[in-house]
A and B are shown apart, each in its own frame.
Chain A
Amino acid sequence: MEPVIQVDHLKKYFSTPRGMLHAVDDVSFTIEKGKTLGVVGESGCGKSTLGRTIIHLHEATAGKISLEGEDVTKLSRKALREAREKMQIIFQDPYSSLDPRKTIRSTITEPLKVSGKMSKAEIEIKADDLMELVGIDQRLRLAYPHELDGGRRQRVGIARALALDPKFVVCDEPVSALDVSIQAQVLNLLKLLQESKGLTYMFVTHDMSVVKHISDDICVMYLGQVVEKCESKELFRNPMHPYTKALLSAIPSTNIHNPMKREILYGEITSPINPKPGCRFATRCKFATEACSQPQIQEEVSAGHFVSCCRIKELG
């Protein structure tokens, strides 16, 4: 099957007074139609920047992004606008990502108006459909964001992202700001929409239990690089990279009788500004050796399971 999204050797650097910040450094993956790629990592690992660069909210420093086989890395303004209708984003913070002075209705219809493909009457019908789709009462059509709770606001964000029937949606921590009881409502909604519309998701989050629940495949990122990539089930059954292992063991489990042995990481976190060529996790890794100061090569350790760690064979 042809992938909806293909990313090849994508890089995004930001220039800072102290040097180049390597936010995304040589990331490659593909996502097939109707699937979800989970991207996990801690704050500052570049996962949000990756999502934003793919849908062209940031311009890529190097690398190639293809959407349904079409290279969207270097597009003219007009072509980019067309392409953007196919790729949308749901933002993390439902409080700051909605215009406080726009009604719910006008937030949802804005993409439709901007695209200029529908008549006023069609837009009205589409807006009704969208509100029903994400479960917002019609009585709230003229409400403002401050009148809504976090869960409903996030539903508005979802309706806005789906207004133009995109193929690919970046979900950038869409449930992190919500309480667990509401988080489950929104996760179910996202899954339902994916099934009914055949959407392809890239789901960015720091929450391992959420990413396990929603993803087909998972990339684990550390300081701009993918350290491990495989099927979701495989990652939780058989994590290989020392960072992934530490990350999984750090999650507080609700199992009180059989607590997992926690692995505490020590050592300084490497700076993402002008990083040295070697493994970026080496400063905190208890297995680090001389060889870790060399650039790491991503290896397919078992079918579909990729790890970037030169010591993986010895550790296994």
Chain B
Amino acid sequence: MDKVTKFLSVKDLVVEYASDGETVHAVNGVSLEVERGKTLGLVGETGAGKTTIAKAILRILPDVGCKIRKGEVYLDGEDILKLHENEMRKIRGNKISMIFQDPMTALNPVQRIGEQIAEVVKLHNDEHVNPEDRAKEMLEIVGIPAERYYEYPHQFSGGMKQRVVIAIALACNPDLLLADEPTTALDVTIQAQVLDLIGDLRKKYNTSMLLITHDLGVVAQVCDNVAVIYAGNIIEYGTKEQIFDHPSHPYTKGLFGAIPDMNEDEEWLHPIEGLPPDPTNLPAGCAFAPRCNYACEVCMKEAIEVAKTTDGHDCRCCRLAEIAREEE
């Protein structure tokens, strides 16, 4: 595929952390693409490498003990991993911005919230835009009265703080939004408000989004495409319909099976037995093989190639045919 056709294109990204003399294999060859105006959901459990991917795209990984070993990140056809730091600074908060998970810690507690929004505008916009006016406008857009420009984060509730974080992220009309569990810290009624707001604003500005979450319900509501990640590897990739109607990888199936079903009464849940692998010591073959009911010798030994099932529905599993046969 031509790299220029997709708005964001990550190719074969490998990120490692050094910890206590050991190497943590956080991201192991991830490739993904986001089209303009579309949303890709990145789904996985704690420690799967979701946040590391977002931080690698934005190049805000810690300098010490962390390394992007390999990979390319194309934004609009330009490999931003090769840019000089000064150039990158112009992109952050302007072309790409990030909504952080925890609104309680993402804001500066001793700076007025209006100023925190205006700061981004000051850095990136030309002189024609008055940062304070723009910040007030953003507050109104996210549903906070502009008078509250002069207040501090502690005067806001959790949901309102997250709306401020969203206002900061959207203040410069970014082309790409990296949303890292934007509603995980919020109550469901507030989550519904915030998801609605993000959806409206994205539609208005045709923003692309990479949504990181562990909540399949949120993915179902918000995303166009879905990538399921396990131990730093994308194990299944497809449209929302492909993933939700025909989950193929045993891990994806396991995830769906483990959620208590709101529409059915079942006595027992179906957990995925075992634990995710130790990222300092990943299994030689498929990382999910030790927990997989269908694992064979090949799964334990060899790196598994991606099997393309139907149009664009990719699955990193070598036992798909056997699993399908067994299910019949």
Q: Complex: how many Å from CA A150 to CA B260?
A: 19
A188 near B188 (CB under 8 angstroms)? Answer: no
Which A residues from 144 to 163 make CB contacts under 8 A with B? 149-151
- In the complex, what residue of chain A is closest to B158 when comparing beta carbons? A43
- A-B contacts, 21 of them at CB < 8 A, read A149-B275, A179-B45, A180-B214, A180-B259, A181-B271, A185-B273, A187-B260, A188-B268, A191-B268, A209-B260, A212-B262, A213-B260, A233-B265, A250-B191, A252-B220, A254-B216, A254-B259, A256-B244, A259-B221, A265-B193, A269-B157
- In the complex, what residue of chain B is closest to A192 when comparing beta carbons? B268
A236 near B262 (CB under 8 angstroms)? Answer: yes
Q: Is the CB of B217 closer than 8 A to any CB of chain A? A: yes
B240 near A256 (CB under 8 angstroms)? Answer: yes
B262 near A253 (CB under 8 angstroms)? Answer: yes
Q: Complex: how many Å from CA A254 to CA B267?
A: 20
Chain B neighbourhood of A265, CB < 8 A: 189, 192-193
B258 near A184 (CB under 8 angstroms)? Answer: yes
A256 near B260 (CB under 8 angstroms)? Answer: no
Shortest CB–CB separation between residue A86 and chain B, in angstroms? 27
B217 near A252 (CB under 8 angstroms)? Answer: yes
Q: Is the CB of A208 closer than 8 A to any CB of chain B? A: yes
Q: Is the CB of B272 closer than 8 A to any CB of chain A? A: yes
- In the complex, what residue of chain A is closest to B213 when comparing beta carbons? A252
The DSSP consensus for interface residues of chain A is helix
Q: Complex: how many Å from CA A246 to CA B189?
A: 7
Q: Is the CB of B218 closer than 8 A to any CB of chain A? A: yes
Q: Is the CB of B32 closer than 8 A to any CB of chain A? A: no
Q: Complex: how many Å from CA A208 to CA B220?
A: 17
Looking at the complex, which one of A43, A184, A269 makes contact with B270 (CB distance below 8 Å)? Answer: A184
Shortest CB–CB separation between residue B307 and chain A, in angstroms? 23
Starting from the known contacts A42-B190, A181-B271, 11 additional A-B residue pairs (CB-CB under 8 Å) come to: A180-B259, A183-B271, A184-B260, A184-B271, A191-B267, A208-B262, A246-B189, A249-B192, A252-B192, A254-B216, A254-B259
Q: Complex: how many Å from CA A253 to CA B157?
A: 25
Shortest CB–CB separation between residue B95 and chain A, in angstroms? 29
A182 near B271 (CB under 8 angstroms)? Answer: yes
Which A residues from 248 to 288 make CB contacts under 8 A with B? 249-256, 259, 262-265, 269
A188 near B269 (CB under 8 angstroms)? Answer: yes
B192 near A210 (CB under 8 angstroms)? Answer: no
A262 near B265 (CB under 8 angstroms)? Answer: no
Q: Is the CB of A206 closer than 8 A to any CB of chain B? A: yes
Q: Complex: how many Å from CA A181 to CA B271?
A: 5
Chain B neighbourhood of A187, CB < 8 A: 260, 269
Shortest CB–CB separation between residue B248 and chain A, in angstroms? 16
Shortest CB–CB separation between residue A262 and chain B, in angstroms? 5
Q: Is the CB of A37 closer than 8 A to any CB of chain B? A: no
The 7 A-B pairs with the shortest beta carbon distances in the complex, nearest first, are A252-B217, A184-B271, A213-B260, A42-B187, A181-B272, A184-B269, A179-B45
